[in-house]
Amino acid sequence: MMIPFSKMHGLGNDFVVVDERVERHGLTPARIAALADRHRGIGCDQFVVLRPACRDGADVFVRFFNADGSESGACGNASRCVADLLWRGDGRRESVLQTRAGLLPAWVGETGLVTVDMGAPALEWRDVPLAEPVDTLHLPLAGDPAAASMGNPHATFFLADILDLDPVVAGPLLEHDPLFPERANIGFAQILSREAMRLRVWERGSGLTLACGSGACAAVVNAVRRGLVERTCRVEMDGGALSITWREADGHVLMTGPATTSFVGTFDPEAYPS
């Protein structure tokens, strides 16, 4: 049986989206990793599975998987893509996504840009999580990074020049540092002004991506905590820019940016190892 999918991206951070709201398709971690392979599969940074919602007020349960088949609690760019997919499917501009990180309200604006309420960041060391009780604003690592969780763990390094460090070299070493028991997404940020920063992110289980929505949220949160930027900040990444607002009233982080469907297709699950 051939399984339909949508290939989507948010600023070049690309996803394979499969709808399992009616029927399960045997998508094991090994099969997901094989499908995410860019040479032998469809190819993507993350694999997204839609399931029926099981919490009141939610429209769909969304599961996010990294390219290596491991599961992630949240993915900002993929959340925008799912909200866009739901809008194009039933015409509703507003939706609520159930994720392992909680309920994420989302809405599609008149210009087509999608906003997701990513919720409040977790800033305590246990909640990131970190392996030991340390100050999340100043981690005991070379480069003095700050940590926050946006449903998945992030560490942000602030650089004078973003070209001073190669994420492909430093990223995998930092992702697996013993301080991060669940590994971590590693962001490298350069502050451009009080309202803008440049960011590159090494994503755990996927590598360097063109954009990272939750990484952009975490970078702004950590920069605000250090007094480096305002609560609304433009985050420029290799694939484009997001607008991030960390609301003072309720502590929630809003992420706004585009979502694009590249193509749709089908695949034969039996062609990939289970």
Instruction: List pLDDT tens digits, range 18-66.
Output: 999 999 999 999 999 999 999 999 999 999 999 999 999 999 999 999 9
- 132 and 235 share one domain: yes
- 138 and 233 share one domain: yes
77 assigned ligand-binding residue: yes
- 221 and 135 share one domain: yes
- Give me 236's structure tokens: 């420029």
Please indicate, yes or no, if residue 108 is contained in any of the structural domains.
yes
pLDDT band per the 50, 70, 90 thresholds, residue 73: confident
247 assigned ligand-binding residue: no
13 assigned ligand-binding residue: yes
- 90 and 164 share one domain: no
- 73 and 166 share one domain: no
204 assigned ligand-binding residue: yes
E strands along the chain, which residues? 3-10, 13-19, 46-51, 60-66, 71-72, 94-99, 102-108, 114-117, 146-149, 153-158, 185-193, 196-203, 207-209, 232-237, 240-246, 253-257, 260-267
- 35 and 71 share one domain: yes
Please indicate, yes or no, if residue 89 is contained in any of the structural domains.
yes
Please indicate, yes or no, if residue 229 is contained in any of the structural domains.
yes
- 217 and 178 share one domain: yes
- 136 and 226 share one domain: yes
Please indicate, yes or no, if residue 104 is contained in any of the structural domains.
yes
What's the CA gap between 71 and 261, in Å, rounded?
Answer: 23
222 assigned ligand-binding residue: no
- 212 and 104 share one domain: no
203 assigned ligand-binding residue: yes
The pTM of this model reads 0.94
CB 6 within 8 A of CB 50: no
Q: What percentage of residues in the chain have a pLDDT greater than 70?
A: 100
Q: How far is residue 205 from each of residues 47, 125, 171, 212, measured CA to CA in Å?
A: 12, 22, 11, 13
CB 32 within 8 A of CB 39: no
- 188 and 243 share one domain: yes
pLDDT band per the 50, 70, 90 thresholds, residue 74: confident
CB 262 within 8 A of CB 85: no
Please indicate, yes or no, if residue 211 is contained in any of the structural domains.
yes
- Give me 29's structure tokens: 């971690």
What's the CA gap between 104 and 27, in Å, rounded?
Answer: 24
Which residues lie below 8 Å from residue 273, measured CB to CB, with a gap of 6+?
A: 30, 31, 34
| Tens digit of each residue's pLDDT (9 = 90 or more) over 250-263 | 999 999 999 999 99
* Catalytic member of 44, 81, 212, 217: 212
Q: Counting Cβ atoms within 10 Å, is residue 263 exposed (0-12), middle (13-18) or buried (19+)?
A: exposed
Indicate the number of domains in the chain.
2
CB 231 within 8 A of CB 251: no
Average pLDDT over residues 148-167: 96
Return the residue matching tokens 């800033």: 123
What's the CA gap between 266 and 274, in Å, rounded?
Answer: 17
- 18 and 50 share one domain: yes
Please indicate, yes or no, if residue 227 is contained in any of the structural domains.
yes
Q: Which domain holds residue 186?
A: 125-251
Helices (H), 163-237: 167-175, 213-225
Q: What is the pLDDT, as a whole number, of residue 39?
A: 96
Please indicate, yes or no, if residue 119 is contained in any of the structural domains.
no
Look at residues 236, 235, 250, 219 and name the one whose alpha carbon lies nearest to residue 105: 250
Query: Is 44 a catalytic site residue?
Result: no
H or E element at residue 79: helix 76-90
* Catalytic member of 44, 75, 217, 233: 75
What's the CA gap between 244 and 272, in Å, rounded?
Answer: 38
Query: Is 75 a catalytic site residue?
Result: yes
